[in-house]
Structure 1
């Protein structure tokens, strides 16, 4: 594993090891590992100057960029705990996480896809009494913030960095649960470094690779399997803010990209782009994707059409530091498509059912969270007394230890790579004056994998207006959480136990056009 020991020391370690090799490319910025380290150290000194103490929370609510990297790692280097925020959050969602994580410093943006995050918070009624400072990354504020670095010596910064211990919390990522309330998942420096060193070796990420990061940095796949893994193994970080197939094809060619990771839809869009053959993709070497069901043809097409010889698939969840199982590139296309591989090296994986039968997936090891933030009851439900994390997903484990995901115990569904928890959406829908009750389920979608379908019981004399409910939910939730269809029901179906019969609704959704 890396000699860095903590993410706080990772930039220093990478600069010592990889020096003047190219570390990061974004727009006109081309930084070596040494230059990246210097910028991260400058941010760390500025963070210290602004009164951030070891263990304080610092959030980043912004799209992928070079400044996201230096802001996030600068905060961690100063001993802070990183809180990445989803760029699709609305004000109430972001404010809830900022409050519960006790965030004192927020890095954000004033314009991303038409959204001014700072104004979004300012214009809301949300109270954030602990938030002392907000800095917009791409504005004159950034330069002003960095001037604080002049008040802190590099010796002071190094002392703060070296004081961070491997078992200290490095970050807290928030993931919704079946109650609809997001849960904070703290992970340590040691967990992150070990998991992503192991992951990188398994998928064959290596020194000299050029890695196009289309996965958002607020997600484990973007930040940890991206930025952290690149620093560990000497690969070049190439952030991409928004996935656009034509733009990405150009970036693959112009930057001689060798590594691309993403949901199956990322690769499908590139493969079927009408101008794909006009681009030189000969530098492509490695691809990583993951989903419950991937067509074997897609694995073969990634190799044939995009040139990635090393393809891996994987399965994970935030509570397991993002990785549970990996299917390595030497496996057949059928195995890569049909399974998520075997347990992450050094961990245990089992299914709560007889061999070959579907059951709940359980995992145990160094990658499992120590507990949800301020939520011992949910922690006890998720991690049993023997250290097994109950994932809530259903799978089958074959005689060779290969895991096949078959279903979910929880109602969660995945829209374009983002988890959606129906309870949260249902709670919003019940707040609409025309809705008495609501149930949301996921249904297959060719482009996004799954989309939400809402079944609503109207109030007396009211009607279910799809356009009105779409606008209502998108004002209050990230757009990927908003259902794509709304249907009227006189009453929701219930099973013998008195619970809403989501299985019946999923069958109905598959039979009813959106």
Structure 2
């Protein structure tokens, strides 16, 4: 059972981490090494800078920048000034980002110009602060405003892969309670060295990364852009112990082979609708990891389910574990996963209609994911309601089909969509990144032996890579 939180807010957590861990390394970013004491001091100065810039309690500040020590200091500084953090996806183009900045009512926009060879602009009337060159973060007098557990901490916009992004509102108390639980399930420890490849603009990087590290006293090593050679170099040089990421991260590590000392690695954390059992076996036998956690989460509720230490390979690979403490999960008649618990969002920003559609009168969040529960209460995700396609009257779930195809030894990655068909209405089309030579006919024949005929893709297109967003999810709207 999770103990009562000793902190009412994320700023209190930052100060507590300084008191508890002091001279231990909090953030390592290139040549920069900040202790927990250094970090807390910088955060308070940054809070003063935001206050001088007119940011008051409840005001929003957007951060449109990659993982870095400056992102950490800026974000925590916003919260310490009593503000509300609005992270923005670094892959968004100007128009997309400006829409979020304007809708959030942000009083300022923090950027890192030059990242991905881009200049990051702001909408008219919103001051733009360059985190690398402006000197803004160090310009304030130390400040820490009182913030409560029920105060809004952040507005994180959904990925927008299925429509216009919606701003998810979450409080300090919700985040602290849930990610203390996450630390326990992931076996994050004091002194761990946590390489954060997952972007900070996403809850996997920000909450299961930065906030979790503050809770346990782990060192944050931010990575701006995933590059397998750079990751291998950092793991060896910095003796990294914790390395979460999407399944593609672990595929890359396995394919990169030897040449680096990876013996320090202990904890892996990933999540997907279906991970091949063979990948789970390889992560824990061919790489040094001794603990692999899989889980299921969404912006609207955080991490909802997770595997437990000792779960068998099959369960870790084919399910996303059991509900975290304080959550209920049930499956609706149409197979939609419904979630209820303390961490369900306070609502979508300025959108009561969408909020009412997502969270019903009984407090159940309608996730849009389709799933089933096994006899041990573990959740298996079988697809998205919007991804499902109908073949001759039968419901076909891409995640289920992808899970089968990933078992073929020549398939490294796959994404399945439904496409129009004159006779059947819709049929499946698979986009495959191969790891060995295979033909469309061979793959279809193999699939016919392993799944019902209506599920078998009628078409296969081979690609060298799949279009991924910054959090490692396939952008199916880019496939046709």
Smaller-chain TM-score range?
0.7 to 0.9
1:34 to 16, 33, 37: 37
* Normalised TM-score (structure 2): 0.82
**CA shift for structure 1 position 102:** 0.4
Q: Give the match for residue 385 of structure 1.
A: 361
- Preserved CA contact (<8 Å) 1:2 1:232: no
- Tell me: CA distance 1:388–1:259, structure 2 relative to 1, closer, same or farther (3 Å): same
- Tell me: CA distance 1:147–1:350, structure 2 relative to 1, closer, same or farther (3 Å): closer
- Tell me: CA distance 1:102–1:350, structure 2 relative to 1, closer, same or farther (3 Å): same
Q: Does 1:511 align with 2:476?
A: no
Show the 5 A alignment for 1:175-254: 175-176=158-159, 180-254=163-237
Residues 314-335 of structure 1: CA distance to partner in whole angstroms, max 9, x if unpaired?
A: 0111111x21110123211111
- Preserved CA contact (<8 Å) 2:335 2:371: yes
- Preserved CA contact (<8 Å) 1:213 1:260: yes
Structure 1 residue ranges, 4+ long, deviating more than 4 angstroms after superposition: 176-179, 441-449, 492-496, 501-510
- Tell me: CA distance 1:309–1:510, structure 2 relative to 1, closer, same or farther (3 Å): farther
The DSSP-based 3-state class of the residue aligned with 1:259 is: coil
Q: Give the match for residue 118 of structure 2.
A: 115
Show the 5 A alignment for 1:39-438: 39-118=42-121, 121=122, 127-129=123-125, 131=126, 133-139=127-133, 141=134, 143=135, 145-146=136-137, 148-149=139-140, 152=141, 154=142, 157-158=143-144, 160=145, 162=146, 164-176=147-159, 180-273=163-256, 276-320=257-301, 322-353=302-333, 359-411=335-387
Report the Cα distance in structure 1 between the residues aligned to 2:363 and 2:69, rounded to whole angstroms.
38
The DSSP-based 3-state class of the residue aligned with 1:25 is: strand
- Tell me: CA distance 1:147–1:175, structure 2 relative to 1, closer, same or farther (3 Å): closer
The DSSP-based 3-state class of the residue aligned with 2:348 is: coil
The DSSP-based 3-state class of the residue aligned with 1:8 is: helix
Residues 449-471 of structure 1: CA distance to partner in whole angstroms, max 9, x if unpaired?
A: 53889x7xxxxxxxxxxxxxxxx
Report the Cα distance in structure 2 between the residues aligned to 1:171 and 1:308, rounded to whole angstroms.
33
Report the Cα distance in structure 2 between the residues aligned to 1:94 and 1:80, rounded to whole angstroms.
19
Report the Cα distance in structure 2 between the residues aligned to 1:250 and 1:412, rounded to whole angstroms.
41
- Preserved CA contact (<8 Å) 2:64 2:112: yes
**CA shift for structure 1 position 97:** 0.3
Identify which range, 299-308 or 1-10, moves more after superposition.
1-10
Residues 359-380 of structure 1: CA distance to partner in whole angstroms, max 9, x if unpaired?
A: 1111100011121111111111
Report the Cα distance in structure 2 between the residues aligned to 1:378 and 1:178, rounded to whole angstroms.
16
**Unpaired runs of 5+ in structure 1?**
122-126, 414-440, 456-491
**CA shift for structure 1 position 253:** 0.9
**Unpaired runs of 5+ in structure 2?**
390-397, 431-454, 463-480
- Tell me: CA distance 1:16–1:293, structure 2 relative to 1, closer, same or farther (3 Å): same
* Normalised TM-score (structure 1): 0.77
**CA shift for structure 1 position 302:** 1.1
- Preserved CA contact (<8 Å) 2:429 2:460: no
Number of aligned pairs?
Answer: 419
Identify which range, 298-307 or 202-211, moves more after superposition.
298-307
